Amino acid sequence: MKLMPPQSLSQLATLLGCEFDGDPAFMVTGINEIHRVEHGDIVFVDHPKYYDKALNSAASVVIINQKITAPQGKCLIFSDDPFTTYNNLTKHFSPWTMPKGTQGEHIHIHRGAHVHSSVIMGHNITIGDGCIIHPGVVLYDNITIGDRSIIHANCVIGSDAFYYKSRPTGREKMHSVGSVFIGHDVEIGASCTAEFQQPPTLVHIPKSTTMCTLVMTPPLVSIVCLRRKSALRAASTLKITSSYGDK
């Protein structure tokens, strides 16, 4: 997820109520998950087992629960509870709001698309030319569907990932942030699901992919990479950090 506009390290630290180590003027440009981070991104780590992975990643800023000296080229934000701090960050820049009625805001449907009246749409939806969206489909926020793609009845695209942190009093849910990109000429069978992943990332279903009925991307998948012309059988479940395709 890109921050629009980018924020300085000092601005983010002030927003989160945290101390920091690094250049106060460094501009943070995005929030991403550890396998897809790039320069300018921010991630969090809250267990010593994963400190090295986070600190050696391409991320420029790490939210961490250990007072250490920032490695060269890195900025640190110190928090006693990085999970909650990260949640507060994503909620601030990508708050969830319930759509009013059956359609949210910023809906763009090509005049050549066919969308059944029972389809429910969240915010920031784009549907391309020649698409067919069958009855009962639910499209959550931040979804792009390419030209001539078909989504059959009762599919759910972009629902929350079920990712929690255990607390003494129960479980704290991670705020779901992400987007789904469905390419041109994709066909998705009835009752398939594609869920947002954690932390924020992109679920990409590329050109000419076919998914039969009851195919799902499970809640804890961190990366789903389907190559073009993928064909997934009925009742398939995509594995964690998986790549499929050219079949």
The domain ranges of the chain are: 2-93, 107-244
- Residue with the two structure tokens 């759910």: 156
C-alpha 76/C-alpha 53 separation (Å) is 14
Predicted local confidence at residue 234, as pLDDT: 43
C-alpha 30/C-alpha 39 separation (Å) is 9
DSSP character for 142? S
Predicted local confidence at residue 36, as pLDDT: 81
C-alpha 83/C-alpha 45 separation (Å) is 8
Predicted local confidence at residue 209, as pLDDT: 67
Question: Taking the chain (247 residues) in consecutive chunks of 10 residues, what is each chunk's mean pLDDT?
Answer: 92 97 96 87 95 95 95 95 95 92 95 97 97 96 94 90 88 87 88 69 65 51 42 42 39
Specify whether the CB–CB gap between 218 and 203 falls below 8 A.
no
Predicted local confidence at residue 235, as pLDDT: 41
Coil vs helix vs strand at 113: coil
Residues 6+ apart with CB under 8 A from 88: 16
Predicted local confidence at residue 27, as pLDDT: 97
Predicted local confidence at residue 161, as pLDDT: 78
Predicted local confidence at residue 7, as pLDDT: 97
Assigned CATH for 107-244:
2.160.10.10
Phi, psi of 231 (to 5 degrees): -135, 115
Predicted local confidence at residue 229, as pLDDT: 47
- Give domain 2-93's CATH number out of 3.40.1390.10, 3.30.1130.10, 3.30.70.960, 2.70.150.10: 3.40.1390.10
Specify whether the CB–CB gap between 28 and 61 falls below 8 A.
yes
